[in-house]
Amino acid sequence: MIIICDKCDYTIDRDKYFNGELIEEYTNTYGTECPNCNHVIKPDKKPFTNLKEEQDIELFKEEMLKKLRNKIQGEQ
C-alpha cells in the first residue's frame, strides 16, 4: 500500500519485499506518521479490535437497559 501525506505529498511505501517479491502488504490501520513532515496520516478504517469492543459495549448496554426496565417495572 502506498500512502501519500496530505500535508507535504510525500510518498510512503511500507510494504515488505524479499528478493523483489511482495511478502506482506502494509495496511494503515492505526495511522501513520510522515517521516518528512511528522504529520499524522489518519487510518483508512477502524481497527478490528475497536469493532469487537464496540459490539461488546452495545451488548452490555442492551443487557443493562433490560435490567433497568425490569427493576423500574417491578417497583411500580
d(CA 21, CA 27): 17
Q: Cβ distance 39 to 30 under 8 Å?
A: no
Q: Give the model's pLDDT for residue 49.
A: 64
pTM above 0.85, yes or no: no
pLDDT in tens, 22-56: 787 777 778 888 988 989 988 877 666 677 788 88
- Mean pLDDT, rounded, for 13-18: 82
Cell of 71: 427493576
